[in-house]
Amino acid sequence: MYPDAPSARRPGRCWTIRVVGHRDRTASVTCSSPCVMPPRSRDIAALRRFAVAHAAAHARAAAVHHDAACWCRRQRCALHEGTRVACAGSVVLVLRHDPAVGQVWTLSEVCAACAPLLPHARVLTRAAPPPPRVPDPDPAPGTEAGRGAGTGPAPSGPATPTVGPPRLVPGGFSAPSSGAGAGPERGGGRRRGVGGRRGRTTGS
């Protein structure tokens, strides 16, 4: 069961992608993250395809945090308020999309107990278990570490990893660059997006 201490887990993440209509009979795609989106268009079908690809790109780029707090619990389990459940189990990434509504796609990190209760949701990925922590071995007697410092030149430390430029991800946004502090990514950065273009789709 999830502990109640706020500091015990990192906040769960959520992305919401919408197709929004306008009075001039055009529509646009929005994302809850600061992503580069295509301009307004009258081609609603093309914008919907872009939204689907954009949600899929977020799912590929985001490694699920094993210590993330359940997003559903943060919302007080409003989507399944008729069913009481204690948050438990591993963290999963779910995609919610109601075909009757048709213009909203939501990705969120939730616990394994809430995931099957969410309507119109399917599990995309699961968090990998954290690697076991291995204690540092004690230095053997007679070694440089055992005799202490000052007996020779200090060994050179590991080279500082370089951080490259952000990698383009299909769907109009950039994934975190690789390097120190960057988590693993699930998708390649050179795949082609909707309509054969990378990063941006415009309707006719």
Q: Using CA atoms, how far apart are residues 76 and 71, in angstroms rounded to an integer?
A: 9
Contact 16, 29 (CB under 8 A): no
Q: Using CA atoms, how far apart are residues 8 and 57, in angstroms rounded to an integer?
A: 29
Digit-coded pLDDT (tens) for 76-122 = 999 898 888 899 999 999 999 998 888 999 999 999 999 999 999 99
Contact 162, 181 (CB under 8 A): no
b/e for 185-202, b at 16 or more Cβ within 10 A? bebebeeebbeeebbbbe
Of 47-61, 88-102, 154-168, the poorest mean pLDDT is in 154-168
Cβ neighbours of 173 (radius 10 Å): 19
Digit-coded pLDDT (tens) for 17-26 = 999 999 999 9
Q: How many Cα atoms occupy the beta-carbon half-sphere of 112 within 13 Å?
A: 10
Record the pTM. Answer: 0.63
pLDDT at 179: 35
pLDDT at 196: 39
Given pLDDT bands bounded at 50, 70 and 90, which one contains residue 164?
A: very low
Q: What is the mean pLDDT of the chain?
A: 74
Contact 89, 111 (CB under 8 A): yes
Which has the closest alpha carbon to 106: 176, 149, 52, 158?
A: 52
Which has the closest alpha carbon to 194: 41, 24, 26?
A: 41
State both tokens at 15.
């992305």
pLDDT at 62: 85
Mean pLDDT of 7-12: 82
**Who contacts 53 (Cβ-Cβ below 8 Å, separation ≥6)?**
170, 171, 193, 194, 201
